[in-house]
Structure 1
Amino acid sequence: MPATNLTREEAQQRATAVSVESYDVALDLTTGASTFPTRSQVRFTASPSADGLFIDFIGPSVEAITLNGESIDPATHFDGARISLPSVAADNTLVIEATGAYMNTGEGLHRFVDPADDEVYLYTQFEVADCRRVFAVFDQPDLKATFAFTVTAPARWQIISNQPTPAPQPADATYVNVKGESEPTATWRFEPTPRLASYVTALVAGPYAVVRDQVEAAGGTIPLGLFCRESQREHLDAESLFDTTKRGFEFFERTFDEPYPFAKYDQIFTPEFNAGAMENAGCVTITDTYIFRTQVAEAIVERRALTVLHELAHMWFGDLVTMRWWDDLWLNESFAEWASSVCQAEATQWDTAWTTFAASEKTWAYRQDQQSSTHPVYANMRHLEDVEANFDGITYAKGASVLKQLVSYVGRDPFVAGLRSYFNKFKWGNTTFDDLLGELEQTSGRDLGSWNEQWLRTCGVNTLRPVVDTDADGVITRFVIEQTAAAEYPVLRTHRLAIGCYELQDGHLVRTDSVETDVDGSVTEVSAMTGRRRPDLLLINDQDLTYGKVRLDDSSLAVVLQHPTGIPDSLTRAVVQGALWDMARDGELGARRYIAYAMEAVAAETDSSLRQCLLMQVTGATTVFLTSGAAGNLTSFVRPEHRSETADHVATSLRSSLIAAAPGSDAQLQLVQSFARMARRDTDVAYIRGLLEGTTALAGLTLDTDMRWTLLASLAAAGVLDDTEVENQLAADRTATGIARAAGVRATYPTAAAKQQAWHDMIESDALPNETVRAVALGFGRVHDTTVLEPYVELFHAALLPLWEQRTFAIASSLVQLAYPIALASPALLEASQRWLDENPEAPAGLRRLVAENRDIVQVAVTAQEHDA
């Protein structure tokens, strides 16, 4: 097989031997629907230690290799992933002519044909190391160079890259479009970029619609562009997106004291994108699911704004200053998470961004940190397969959480001063975390070695539990915080946290005091709490200052469960709800007790993100960007004999809440979506049918295209949908989203034939593009009667090794998570996954990790079932 898995040692050796000056890359996008000609001219210097040097390229063929004027035979020097260079000089010019392949997996150069109008749209996605799928390149982050792109394409297309788009020049070739029509072509010759890492270069091409604006920045006027498919133009809310972007520019330039480093800033909403967005320098690509064609929850609008700010923060941290190797991937992503949350909280209308952070990001981090695949924030990235597997809750959310703590530890002003010094000293270069840490030690005067070891070099999450003694009058005589750790990762950390004291006042739990203290070791006595009357609620980690799981003492737990709507402050609610969720996951709070609490709390919840988190936990619905894979739901935490009754209770509560919700409100929308997922009894299914056909009145509900798909999927899961209804809706929504939604609905049918067809489409065939594969997988796993999935326990595990070998990482990893029959969470499924791990010790590490994570999720469910009383 081709040597695609570049190791850190190989990269270090290559970086020692080579310095790259420039790339001149020419691409011809006019020659067909499957491949494209690609030509790279690379200028680089090499040292005498450059023996065994190679350059990266993954594609169908290499036609010619010329090194310093001498021809090299591709047949003996190209293995499908690497082009070996037998002898190099001190100064070198390398020219490689090759054929690249368009992808439908969201990697390399992704090609998409819009079913709405048969227009072709292209975009690149190069992180981690998929630049090599488009042109020959030394594809590692520390071999920065300038990149000059020349692109030949249909003359009417938009061609977008890192540099401003030049005027096109007519070309001789013609282009035959999807409709069979010939079109004139043109060539665009871009100016060289500043020195960039290869993974943040980009090319976007197609008849994209564009809206332009500009922002007055520290370095002058910066052109702004928003691009989307022509068929989505009417839904592009440019005003909101530009407003968020401009606020980010002002905040980051002022905070970092460093002008925006590139010549323009374009944001392109691209189809079938695998993630939320990608920080290509000056040419950010964003999933076009963030173009809202129908009403969406405010939580999703807030998430989009956070994504916009996250990618903008990367222009400084990641693009201007870049990690030397992927060991510091965490710092790239954690910093962008922290910076975007600060900006959102302080410079936009979403001033409760830290509530969302506590409820969403930290919940994600805690879940990831308790799996067998947990790793230190600072991860040992031995090779590219390690990197691909570590875009996870540790890298993003735990890292951002500990950065937030670091800011508190050193102080906001010294932290910002350290950032400014860091950007000024290392701009356009490559660094490690030690470089940043050194600047922060200088500006804060603190030795951060101990903090580094505790928080970045160790695994696992601590649990913090209050132990309270009182006298007969309810006065606290002793207050202790116990800190524990998982047996596998027994480190006890130093925490700076607050203890919130809350009293019931007219049914509301109101903070009357907050006592800050340091927790260190297994037992910490808090003398400041003694002598005061015990409050109704004692909340460790009040204001969410530290990273750690929190427990409520028995008295506080009883008060919270009795007053599920009694906390007026959203951040406090996030911390309390997080504590209850962790207790349910760990078997310390019965799942049915938590569900009863959550159903009451969600009915009165005013924060969209908190409402979304509660609903996700109970119903198992997932958001695209924070959860993936076999997330399961709380009903799988319930003992089997109580599961049907519990699911009916959830459906009843959701239906009551949605009827009572304000017409047209955000709450109504979220509740209808969740009820549709849970509807299975005849009366509930009839209610869904009534909403779909307009015979059931629900004031304010908009029966738009996406809501119709949601209701159809609900009827499909209940087994009462005729395929003619799907076909009719698809005829009315002949879009990429409509095609994916239809495929997902059909995979939801609760029949053996439908599940078998879904299995074939996602596992046994590679014809479907990535977004449709995901929709089919989600539909496949959505069942009310789990017996229909029982044959797939064996089939799933048998398919793993061929799937991993035959599909790209993006598709294979998605399917290992999404096609896992988590609805069958039981000791039998647990045993099947463990058996596969025992029998396949030599399986690829990335695959074993994902299978182990699936197993871990089942283990959590089984443990919760055992304790559900």
Structure 2
Amino acid sequence: MPGMNLTREEARTRAALITVHSYDVELDLTGSDTVYSSRTTVRFSAVEGAESFIDAVTDAVRSVNLNGTELDPAEVSDGVRIALPGLAAENTLVIDADALYMNTGEGLHRFVDPVDDEVYLYSQFEVPDSRRMFAVFEQPDLKATFAFTITAPAHWDVISNAATPVPVDAHDGAKTWAFAPTARISSYITALIAGPYQCVRSELTSSDGRMIPLGVFARASLMEHLDAENIFTLTRQGFEFFEKQFGTPYPFEKYDQLFVPEFNAGAMENAGAVTFLESYVFRSRPTDAMVERRAITVLHELAHMWFGDLVTMRWWNDLWLNESFAEFMSTLAAAQNTEFTSSWTTFNILEKNWAYRQDQLPSTHPIVAEIRDLEDVQVNFDGITYAKGASVLRQLVAWVGQEEFMAGVRSYFAKHAWSNTELPDLMRELEASSGRDLSEWSKLWLETAGVNTLRAVISTDDAGLITDFSITQTAVAEHPVIRPHRLAVGFYDLDAAGSLIRVHREELDVAGPTTAVPALVGRKRPALVLVNDDDLAYAKIRLDGQSLATATAHLKDFEQSLPRTLVWGAAWDAVRDAETPARAYLELVLGNIGHETDSTVIMVLLRQLNTALDYYVDRMGAPAARLAAADRLWELARAAEAGSDAQLQFVGAFAHLAHTGPQLDAVAALLSGELVLEGLEVDAEMRWDLLTSLSAGGLADAGAIAAELERDATSTGQLSAHTARAAMPTPEAKRAAWDAVIGGKLSNLEQRAAITGFNHVHDPALIAGYVEEYFDVAGTVWETKSYEIAQQIVTGLYPAAQTTPETLAKTDAFLHSLGEDSPALRRLVIESRDAVVRALAAQAADA
């Protein structure tokens, strides 16, 4: 992606020269289907006589006027930047250009609803894409006010950061909306959402007595499925919790939440106008896991209104703090002020698992990462930035105390509202509120990479009393840092009813390679000892032999979900580290998942089951393991409580694995209605899951897919059809999917759907021939496509299913050919390579 980068040094230099006052942005969205006119007026101060540049990714630049002087666009613009020579102390810059609509989920994305042929637009600017919609000094520390004036079709609704004004007539069939200026904010959280969106409205009263208008928006064809009252309830609970914890009223004038089509991420924290992916509008029955995930996302984005929007990082090296804080606070708010009281269980199985996985990759990095340029930022939207950072913040709260932590946060907001900060600004406030010197803690946790492993070492006498108890801590050779941990040790025994209950909890500080725990000496050794009970610390854990035997025999008997989930996590981690056989893990999952009560835990365990079958089971034993797993899942589905979340998930998991004649016959019978499972609704989403299963099994042709698409002629139906077609087990179907992805004719979500279908194979040999082709095109893809599209292809089409030394050799040859060029591409390929290395080690352990 040549020419699109911005280095930190360039940003520092520009920030030293320029102070931006205001932007007036005029867009006309009534022209063509591909471009729109974008006129930007910027007022800014500068060091007199200096030269700089403004960012503007354009299709064409018609004029550039700096302080009344016309500059030749051909001389000053290269389509990405516009040079600004001879700046005055006070400057007015007017740029008139054409900008491109995008179909990649970056910049101003344009979507046509197949149901009613209506056009829907939304902006997505994080990290560097407001420059795709208007000319801007694209860096977070150059805050300004933004006033948008939008001309659009008269029947549209137009939403931005400020309250939507009453439109006035423009030319035929169009109106103009002139928004009031925003507060001083960073460009990446500005927003424009436009089209015939429908809205449900409400309001709440903030802690300072203001009435805050609320809106929940979606496309017209989805409104019947929008449960806006649930969104409003969560929003009110979040407002109540955050305003109290932060000691600062909500900083903006209204709060809109908009579900938009073909969104790449979960959501985006645009100030007062948050955008969400449409999968959170449930047109079919969702799993409870998805409902909880939406709740956490709603709270995450709301937390950003303070942390990120009101107070913003100076540069992207503090991206982790922006995202980790919102992730931590959203889980805390869910646990303490909503119905989702077990959200820390979800955090462990979902977020921490992600963090541990990311932190063991060759590309792992300190939480405070070196961000040299925008390419570095893009690849650091990762498990370290979100999940490890949030886990370490939870550890910090345990270390200093929640009340002390929140007191520091309140002081931070009070001092830095509407400005830009760096990590030391927050740490100073936390030190002041807690009375603890955090410099060493910060160095060990935030400036080093890697995850420690904790084990209990226990000695007992003949009566079963503990004579010695210590906790050992180890680190891998590549990251040999031993860290301080605030954690709890839990003792668990079986009660008379057979439940595994906690009988003692000891909280303590652990530091160094070995920490003695004298408080536990003299106690009777329990059936199970759980290090890091309550999941306060960020560390892998290993169970001692007796505890492991108890956990294996009584996993389903844990009274609480969080300790059970910690054991699940330790078991999975041991498989990934090739310490235990994958097939033993399959037996553990299939023997206990039917008793699991947490929806998100079931979801993750089923994902891990698939990963183990695809990558970690010895190749000689894999066919039998896949057959047995599918049959067991079908048994679990039929035995599950009618209408339960578990039943829904087990049917979906069975359909994904089904590949034999009898298994596919069961799938076909479910789809046709010949076989009915009591309580299971075969709705639109389930129909597509079943049909894709038949397609991958060779029992559904293009005609069947077309018929289902006619039945469900929505955008979601179109995406599902892409997946089903690409899943067909023929060379022709795989070639068509590959060419469609590489050829770049698909939108962002269409491409993702096609990649999913391409990789859905029961025999990896079917796509083995694409290994060479992948390495032939990966470099060109990276150089010629936008970041989001390129990343999808590079990671999604990497030949991970070909778990062979030959794949590693070809990967190494490709990396060698790259040299040190394209560091972001290099990192993505190295991460994919690591999956093959782990798979080969796990297969050897399972053999």
Range of TM-score over shorter length: over 0.9
Q: Percent same amino acid at aligned positions?
A: 52
> Which residue of the partner structure matches residue 640 of structure 1?
619
Tell whether the 8 Å contact from 1:564 to 1:598 is kept in structure 2 after alignment. Answer: no
> Which residue of the partner structure matches residue 350 of structure 2?
360
> Which residue of the partner structure matches residue 792 of structure 1?
770
Match of 2:761 among 783, 789, 796: 783
* Cα distance in 2 for residues equivalent to 1:3 and 1:277: 27
**Structural mapping, 1:440-479, within 5 Å:** 440-479=430-469
User: Is 1:136 aligned with 2:135?
Assistant: yes
> Which residue of the partner structure matches residue 531 of structure 1?
522
> Which residue of the partner structure matches residue 717 of structure 1?
696
Tell whether the 8 Å contact from 1:592 to 1:638 is kept in structure 2 after alignment. Answer: yes
User: Is 1:556 aligned with 2:547?
Assistant: yes
* Cα distance in 2 for residues equivalent to 1:443 and 1:478: 37
User: Is 1:202 aligned with 2:180?
Assistant: no
Q: How far 1:59 sits from its partner (Å)?
A: 1.3
Tell whether the 8 Å contact from 1:497 to 1:519 is kept in structure 2 after alignment. Answer: yes
Query: Is the deviation greater in 422-431 or in 716-725?
Result: 716-725
Question: Residue deviations 1:600-652, cap 9 Å, x none?
Answer: 22111111111111111102xxxxxxxxxxxx444420111111111112112
Query: Is the deviation greater in 500-509 or in 604-613?
Result: 500-509
* Cα distance in 2 for residues equivalent to 1:490 and 1:443: 31
Tell whether the 8 Å contact from 2:151 to 2:175 is kept in structure 1 after alignment. Answer: yes
User: Is 1:698 aligned with 2:688?
Assistant: no
Tell whether the 8 Å contact from 1:166 to 1:189 is kept in structure 2 after alignment. Answer: yes
User: Is 1:92 aligned with 2:91?
Assistant: yes
Question: Residue deviations 1:48-72, cap 9 Å, x none?
Answer: 4x73400000111111000000010
Tell whether the 8 Å contact from 1:2 to 1:81 is kept in structure 2 after alignment. Answer: no
Q: How far 1:2 sits from its partner (Å)?
A: 5.4
**Structural mapping, 1:585-604, within 5 Å:** 585-604=576-595
* Cα distance in 1 for residues equivalent to 2:381 and 2:343: 22
Q: How far 1:751 sits from its partner (Å)?
A: 1.1
Tell whether the 8 Å contact from 1:743 to 1:775 is kept in structure 2 after alignment. Answer: yes
User: Is 1:839 aligned with 2:817?
Assistant: yes
**Structural mapping, 1:189-268, within 5 Å:** 189-219=178-208, 220-268=210-258
User: Is 1:270 aligned with 2:260?
Assistant: yes
* Cα distance in 2 for residues equivalent to 1:604 and 1:205: 47
Tell whether the 8 Å contact from 2:722 to 2:754 is kept in structure 1 after alignment. Answer: yes
**Structural mapping, 1:563-582, within 5 Å:** 563-582=554-573
Tell whether the 8 Å contact from 1:564 to 1:600 is kept in structure 2 after alignment. Answer: no
Tell whether the 8 Å contact from 2:362 to 2:834 is kept in structure 1 after alignment. Answer: yes
* Cα distance in 2 for residues equivalent to 1:836 and 1:535: 53
**Structural mapping, 1:676-755, within 5 Å:** 676-755=655-734
* Cα distance in 2 for residues equivalent to 1:508 and 1:831: 51
Tell whether the 8 Å contact from 2:613 to 2:622 is kept in structure 1 after alignment. Answer: no
Tell whether the 8 Å contact from 1:635 to 1:646 is kept in structure 2 after alignment. Answer: no
> Which residue of the partner structure matches residue 162 of structure 2?
163
* Cα distance in 2 for residues equivalent to 1:635 and 1:44: 56
**TM-score scaled to structure 2, two decimals?**
0.99
Letter paired with 1:810? E
Q: 1:827 to 1:558 in 2, by over 3 A?
A: farther
> Which residue of the partner structure matches residue 830 of structure 1?
808
Q: How far 1:843 sits from its partner (Å)?
A: 3.5
Q: How far 1:724 sits from its partner (Å)?
A: 1.3
Q: SS state of the match for residue 513, structure 1?
A: strand
* Cα distance in 2 for residues equivalent to 1:782 and 1:553: 38
Match of 1:671 among 650, 656, 665: 650
> Which residue of the partner structure matches residue 625 of structure 1?
none
Q: SS state of the match for residue 541, structure 1?
A: strand
Q: How far 1:38 sits from its partner (Å)?
A: 0.3
Q: How far 1:799 sits from its partner (Å)?
A: 1.3
> Which residue of the partner structure matches residue 25 of structure 1?
25
Tell whether the 8 Å contact from 1:480 to 1:526 is kept in structure 2 after alignment. Answer: yes
Tell whether the 8 Å contact from 1:260 to 1:316 is kept in structure 2 after alignment. Answer: yes
> Which residue of the partner structure matches residue 180 of structure 1?
none
Q: SS state of the match for residue 416, structure 1?
A: helix
* Gapped regions of structure 1 (runs ≥ 5): 175-183, 620-631
Aligned residue pairs: how many? 845
* Cα distance in 2 for residues equivalent to 1:634 and 1:514: 37
> Which residue of the partner structure matches residue 311 of structure 2?
321
Tell whether the 8 Å contact from 2:709 to 2:718 is kept in structure 1 after alignment. Answer: yes
Q: How far 1:240 sits from its partner (Å)?
A: 0.6
Tell whether the 8 Å contact from 2:613 to 2:626 is kept in structure 1 after alignment. Answer: no
Q: How far 1:345 sits from its partner (Å)?
A: 0.5
Q: SS state of the match for residue 822, structure 1?
A: coil
Q: SS state of the match for residue 241, structure 2?
A: helix
Tell whether the 8 Å contact from 1:636 to 1:643 is kept in structure 2 after alignment. Answer: no
Question: Residue deviations 1:386-444, cap 9 Å, x none?
Answer: 00110000000000011111111111111111111111111000000110111111111
> Which residue of the partner structure matches residue 107 of structure 2?
108
* Cα distance in 1 for residues equivalent to 2:53 and 2:825: 27
* Cα distance in 1 for residues equivalent to 2:40 and 2:517: 65
Match of 2:787 among 809, 824, 827: 809
**Structural mapping, 1:298-377, within 5 Å:** 298-377=288-367
Q: SS state of the match for residue 641, structure 1?
A: coil
User: Is 1:867 aligned with 2:832?
Assistant: no
Query: Is the deviation greater in 564-573 or in 521-530?
Result: 521-530
> Which residue of the partner structure matches residue 181 of structure 1?
none
Over the aligned positions, Cα root-mean-square deviation in angstroms equals 1.1
Tell whether the 8 Å contact from 2:111 to 2:261 is kept in structure 1 after alignment. Answer: yes
Q: SS state of the match for residue 534, structure 2?
A: helix
Q: SS state of the match for residue 465, structure 1?
A: strand
* Cα distance in 1 for residues equivalent to 2:85 and 2:64: 11
* Cα distance in 2 for residues equivalent to 1:449 and 1:357: 27
Tell whether the 8 Å contact from 1:109 to 1:125 is kept in structure 2 after alignment. Answer: yes
> Which residue of the partner structure matches residue 819 of structure 1?
797
Tell whether the 8 Å contact from 2:668 to 2:694 is kept in structure 1 after alignment. Answer: yes
Question: Residue deviations 1:678-727, cap 9 Å, x none?
Answer: 11121111110110111112111111111100000111111111221101
**TM-score scaled to structure 1, two decimals?**
0.96
Letter paired with 1:32? S
Tell whether the 8 Å contact from 2:488 to 2:508 is kept in structure 1 after alignment. Answer: yes
* Cα distance in 1 for residues equivalent to 2:613 and 2:336: 35
Match of 1:614 among 592, 605, 612: 605
Question: Residue deviations 1:224-276, cap 9 Å, x none?
Answer: 00110000010000111111111111111111111111110001100000000
Query: Is the deviation greater in 278-287 or in 498-507?
Result: 498-507
Q: How far 1:469 sits from its partner (Å)?
A: 2.5
* Cα distance in 2 for residues equivalent to 1:664 and 1:522: 50
Tell whether the 8 Å contact from 1:2 to 1:80 is kept in structure 2 after alignment. Answer: no
> Which residue of the partner structure matches residue 490 of structure 2?
500
Tell whether the 8 Å contact from 1:826 to 1:861 is kept in structure 2 after alignment. Answer: no
Tell whether the 8 Å contact from 1:778 to 1:819 is kept in structure 2 after alignment. Answer: no
Question: Residue deviations 1:470-505, cap 9 Å, x none?
Answer: 333333222222211111111010111111111123
